A and B are shown apart, each in its own frame.
Chain A
Amino acid sequence: MEAGPTAKSALFDCRQSFADTLIELAKSDERIVAVCNDSVGSSNLVAFQKQFPDRLINVGIAEQNMVGVGAGLAIGGFIPFVCGAAPFLTGRALEQVKVDVAYNALPVVLCGMSPGMAYGELGPTHHSIEDLSWLRAIDGLAIVVPADPAQTAAAVRWAASAATPCYIRVGRTKVPSVSDDAATAFAFGRIDVLRAGADLTIAATGTMVSRALAAAETLAQRGLQVRVLNVATIKPLDEAVIVAAARETAAIVTVEEAMIEGGLGAAVAEIVVRHAPVPMRMLGVKGFAPTGTAEYLFDHFGLNPEGIVAAALELKGR
C-alpha cells in the first residue's frame, strides 16, 4: 500500500499570508497599490495602510466604482490589488470585471476576500459560491484558488508580475498547510499531484484540498489508492494532468467550496468528456445554505472527508 502525505494539523489563515506578501512586494515595487471598499480591516489591509497610506485607495462601499478605479489605475501605470469580500466584488461588479478589467486586458488583480461560505452564519447574501461559475465564462481572466498560506503568498507574487487580469480567492477559513516547499508552492496553470494513486482521482481546490487528502488516507485503508490533485489554477485548467488522471485512474471525484454548476467540477468534466470520458462525481455547494458556521455547512453539503469517501466508494461501486 502506498503511503502519501496527509494534511498537517496546525491551521492557518490565508489572509495574513496575503497581507504580508503584498507589503513585501509593495516595498520593492512602487506600482503596487491596494483598492478596497471600506474593507481595510476585513481585507487585512491595516498594516499595508500604515506603511503606505497614500497607496491604499478606499473608495467606500461602492464596488462598481472600485473595480473601475482599479482599471483606471492600471491605465495610469499602476498594478492595483482590488480587494473586497468575494460576493460583492464578483457579484455587484461583474460587468466591471468583464469589461473594465478582462476586455481591456488590464493588469488588475481582483482579490476575492473571504470566499465560499467563509461568512457562514451571515448567510447566502454573504457567501461567494457563484464566483467560479461567473468568472470562468469571462475570456482572458485567470482564476486562482490557493489551498494554503504558502500557495496564497506565491500566487500573490505571481499576480504582481503577471501583467494579466486575474482573480484570486483569498481564504478566511483556517486551513492546514498542504505545501511542502513555500518557494515552489504555486505555479500558475499547474495542477499539483499531492498523492499518487491509480484507482481513483480526487481533484480538489482551496479549502477542500486538505479534506481530499484526509479522504484519500481513509480510502487507502479500504484498499483504494487515490490520486489527489490540488487544482490551484481553475482557469486556465491544466488539461494534461486531468486527461492523464482520467486515463490512468478511470474515475474522478471533484470537490469545491462553490456551486457545482460551472465551477471546478464542470471545468474538469468539459475536458474529460472530450478526451477520456470516465465516470465522475461532483461535490460542491447545492443551493443557498441554511444558517450555520462554515464548518457546519461543509458537513451539511458533504464537503468533508466522510462525504468525499462516500462519493468515492459509490463511484467505485463499493
Chain B
Amino acid sequence: MAVSPSSPGRAPQLAVSLSEGLDAAERAQRLRREATRIRRDVVEMIGRAHLGHVGGDLSVTDILATLFFGVLRLDPAAPRAPERDRFILSKGHCAAALYSTLAQRGFMPLEALSTFMQPLSALNGHPNRRKVPGVEANTGPLGHGLPIAVGCAIAAKLARASWRTFVVLGDGELQEGSNWEAAMCGGHQKLDNLVAVVDRNRLQQGARTEDTNRLEPLADRWRAFGWDAVECDGHDHAALYEAFVSPHKGRPRCVIAKTIKGKGVSFIEDRVEWHHKVPSPEQIELALKELV
C-alpha cells in the first residue's frame, strides 16, 4: 500500500521549509526542534517495530533536519515536481530517520510512521520511491546512492536547470568501490550542483571504521578525486547549513559531518553494539526522557 501525497494535480510550489530570511541563530533553534521530533519518532518507531538501525538514525538526524527544513526546495504536495532538489539517502538502512523527516516535512501523515516495517506497510526497512512520496531512490545495498546522485547532477547540468542534488552517505559504506567510481566521475564532470554528505560517526556494523578498513585521511581522499571537501560538526545545525549552501564553484562538495552514532541518547552514543540493537521498553522510556 502506497502513501499518497495530499493534493496531487495542482501546480508545484517549490520552497525551503524555513524562511531563507531567518537569522542563523533562529534557524538553528528551529532545526534543533525538528531534529528532536525526528529522534523521538525514530526511537518510538524502532521500539514498535522491534527492528531498525537506531545508532545510524540518530547520527544522521541533524543532517536530515538541516537539509529538509533549511535547504531543500521541495513541495510535499508535488513530490515529483521536475524542478525539485533531489535528495538521496544512500545509507538506506536509516530509513526510519528519513520517514520521520518526510512525515514532519508533510510528505505523509505522521500516523503512517506507526506502520514502520509492519506487514504490507509502505514503510519498508529500506526506502522505496514507488511507495513513499519524497523518496528519490530505493537504497539499501551500500554504494548505490552516489552514482545515482552523480547522474542526477549531470541531468540538471544537461537541462541547464538550477535544482541541486544532495546525497547522504554512511562512512562505512565508503569501503564500497562504486563510491569511488562515482567520486572520480563527479570530480571529472565538475558537478558544482552536487553535495555529498558523509555521516562520519566512525562506526560500522561490526567495529570502528579505522580498525576495519581505514578511511582516513578522508577529506584528502575526496580532494584527490577533485572535490571541495569540508569538515564540520555534524550536530551543529548552523555549521551544517553553511557547509550545504556556501558556494563551491567548479567542483562538487563533500561535507564530512563529524557525528556521534546514537547521538542524543547517552547509553546508545558511540557504542558499536547499537548499530541495529533494539531498545527495550524501559530503554525507550529513558531515551525519550533524554530527547527533549
Contacts and interface: CB of A to CB of B under 8 A. Distances in A.
B147 A65 contact: yes
B148 interface: yes
Contacts of A100: 137, 144, 147-148
A75 B158 contact: no
Contacts of B178: 64-65, 68, 96
Contact of B147 (A33, A60, A96): A96
Interface stretch (B5-13, B30-38, B179-187): B179-187
Given A65-B178, A71-B148, A77 B155 contact: yes
Contacts of A62: 181-182, 184-185
B155 A73 contact: yes
Nearest to A67: B147
Contacts of B146: 68
A73 B154 contact: yes
Interface in A53-97: 54-55, 57, 59-60, 62, 64-78, 80, 95-96
B181 A104 contact: no
Given A75-B136, A99-B141, A100-B137, A64 B155 contact: no
B1 interface: no
A233 to B, nearest CB: 23
Contacts of A158: none
B86 interface: yes
A75 B185 contact: no
B152 A72 contact: yes
Contacts of B158: 33, 54-55, 73, 76, 78
Interface string B149-181: 111111110110000010000000000011001
A72 B143 contact: no
A165 B1 CA distance: 22
Contact of A69 (B129, B139, B177, B185): B185
Contact of A76 (B129, B143, B156): B156
Interface residues of B, number: 34
Contact of B152 (A57, A59, A60, A75): A75
Nearest to A78: B155
Interface residues of A, number: 30
A242 B86 CA distance: 45
B181 A73 contact: no
Contacts of A310: none
A68 B122 CA distance: 24
A100 B90 CA distance: 11
A67 B150 CA distance: 11
Contact of B86 (A70, A75, A80): A75
Contact of A71 (B143, B151, B184, B185): B151
A70 B151 contact: yes
Interface of B is mostly: helix
B50 interface: no
B179 to A, nearest CB: 9
B144 A59 contact: no
Most buried by B among A64, A70, A76, A99: A76
B224 to A, nearest CB: 16
Contacts of A59: 181, 185
Contacts of B184: 60, 62
Contacts of B128: 103
Contacts of A54: 158
Nearest to B157: A54
B130 interface: yes
B138 interface: yes
B39 to A, nearest CB: 28
A75 B148 contact: yes
B138 A72 contact: no
Contact of A64 (B147, B149, B152, B188): B147
Contact of B155 (A68, A75, A105): A75
A57 B150 CA distance: 11
Given A57-B154, A76-B86, 20 more contacts: A59-B185, A64-B147, A64-B177, A64-B178, A65-B178, A68-B147, A68-B182, A69-B147, A71-B147, A72-B147, A72-B154, A72-B155, A73-B154, A75-B136, A75-B148, A75-B152, A76-B152, A78-B155, A99-B140, A100-B147
10 contacts: A60-B188, A65-B150, A67-B147, A70-B151, A71-B151, A76-B152, A80-B151, A99-B139, A104-B130, A104-B137
Interface of A: 33, 54-55, 57, 59-60, 62, 64-78, 80, 95-96, 99-100, 103-105
8 closest pairs, A vs B, by CB?
A72-B151, A76-B155, A68-B147, A65-B181, A69-B151, A62-B181, A64-B178, A72-B152
